Copies of this chain bind each other. A is one copy, B any other.
Amino acid sequence: MDSNLEQFASDNYSGICPEALDYMMKANEGSAPAYGNDEWTQKAADGFRELFEIDCEVFFVFNGTAANSLSLAALCQSYHSVICHENAHIETSECGAPEFTSNGSKLILAKGENGKLTAASIEEVLLNKRADIHYPKRKVISLTQATELATLYSIDELAAIKSLAEKHDLKIHVDGARFANAVVALNKSPAELTWKNGVDVLCFCGSKNGMALGEAIIFFDKKLAEDFAYRCKQAGQLASKMRFISAPWLGLLETGAWLKNARHANQCAEYFEQELLKIEGVEIMFPREANGVFVQLPENVITSLRAKNWLFYSFMGIGGVRLMCSWNTTIARIDEFIRDIKEAMGKTN
């Protein structure tokens, strides 16, 4: 059906990448124990332990909203709070899932340029909110890496937030919807980007990286994962045929496709940005660092592009146009889009 879809709407519009599919097919031979008691799941979990160079706890759930909500609920009681950026996906795009799953934990919104929290912006929020029993007790800092604006937290920025977290006895959660893109762009090891810089739990997204679905929740502090398997089961997040989530993960890890896919998406976005910058009147909104570009376009250009069936989002409350690249984005398609922008801009002038 939609196979010729013109889109830069989201990296989750893409299908299953060959490596993930290949392992899914392999996993489909014969029967296997349900609920994760199969060899694929064991191997995939071990794969993450090797990748992160630590004996971590690994859980597989269906999607990112679930991963974020369940891991935050593991860190928070109902009367605790999570400090996140006002543009954080957990705030803007998960329909209150963290509040629901934790039975009421509050998200406290902080500001910060380019979609990033800073130690200073977090501290400001802490100072401005009651710190007694009449307000939820602060418990967690949630970061998104790469951010919702396709920017990155550097190691130094992570280290500063880690210090603040230790000072205030806060845990650090990372929404890794595009964690692979961050690893590639920052050229740091997964360990450096997580537990070596204070991250307690990471939600590592598979679907945006090329899988059909599936998210890995990785607890670097194993104590925080106590009884977490019960939590997943109770929340309807324990797959009976788990192998169809875990085997594709193994495919991504064993073949290196997780890096290849992320690198391709990042490079496409870089190319996209360069082409956009060549067009007079187009303004890049944030420093592009991962697999998305945010541009300000004239309203009539946007209208014109939509009329040609190009799909893309504007970012709620920010405006502009978000152009996401994924593992299956092609340079040819970017060129077409650029050509259409230029044509529309021409009509503008």
Q: Are A235 and B97 in contact (CB under 8 A)?
A: yes
Contact with B along A75-86 (1 / 0, CB 8 A): 001111100000
Q: Are A241 and B213 in contact (CB under 8 A)?
A: yes
- Give chain B residues whose Cβ lies under 8 Å from the Cβ of A255: none
Tell me which of B236, B241, B317 contacts A61 (CB under 8 A): B236
Contact with B along A7-42 (1 / 0, CB 8 A): 101101111100001001001111111110011100
Chain A interface secondary structure, helix, strand, loop or mixed? loop
Tell me which of B79, B231, B234 contacts A231 (CB under 8 A): B79
A163 at the binding interface (Cβ < 8 Å): no
Per the bound structure, the CA–CA distance linking A29 and B18 in Å amounts to 12
Per the bound structure, the CA–CA distance linking A1 and B96 in Å amounts to 40
- Give chain B residues whose Cβ lies under 8 Å from the Cβ of A32: 1-2, 5, 13, 15
Question: What's the minimum C-beta distance from A17 to chain B, rounded to whole angstroms?
Answer: 10
Tell me which of B39, B81, B133 contacts A233 (CB under 8 A): B133
On whether A3 and B30 interact (CB within 8 A), knowing A100-B235, A230-B133, the answer reads yes
Q: Are A235 and B234 in contact (CB under 8 A)?
A: no
Q: Are A38 and B2 in contact (CB under 8 A)?
A: yes
Question: What's the minimum C-beta distance from A206 to chain B, rounded to whole angstroms?
Answer: 10
A95 at the binding interface (Cβ < 8 Å): yes
Name the residue in A27, A69, A95, A311 with the highest tally of chain B Cβ atoms < 10 Å from its Cβ. Answer: A95
Per the bound structure, the CA–CA distance linking A237 and B97 in Å amounts to 10
Q: Are B100 and A63 in contact (CB under 8 A)?
A: no
Name the residue in A15, A105, A227, A317 with the highest tally of chain B Cβ atoms < 10 Å from its Cβ. Answer: A15
- Give chain B residues whose Cβ lies under 8 Å from the Cβ of A241: 12, 15-16, 207, 212-213
Which residue on B lies nearest to A69, using beta carbons? B236
CB-contacts of A130-164 with B (<8 A): 130, 133-137
- Give chain B residues whose Cβ lies under 8 Å from the Cβ of A230: 77, 79-80, 95, 133, 136-137
Q: Are A92 and B135 in contact (CB under 8 A)?
A: yes
Q: List 24 A-B contacts (CB under 8 A).
A: A2-B31, A5-B31, A5-B33, A7-B31, A9-B33, A13-B32, A63-B238, A63-B240, A65-B236, A66-B236, A77-B227, A77-B231, A79-B227, A81-B96, A92-B130, A93-B135, A95-B230, A96-B106, A97-B234, A99-B99, A129-B316, A133-B229, A136-B234, A213-B239
Q: Beyond the given A2-B30, A16-B28, A79-B233, could you list 5 further A-B residue pairs with CB under 8 A, ordered by the A residue number?
A: A4-B30, A66-B236, A79-B96, A97-B234, A129-B317
Spell out A's residues near B (CB within 8 Å).
Answer: 1-5, 7, 9-10, 12-16, 21, 24, 27-35, 38-40, 61-67, 69-70, 77-81, 92-97, 99-101, 103-106, 128-130, 133-137, 207-208, 212-213, 227, 229-231, 233-241, 244, 311, 316-317, 328
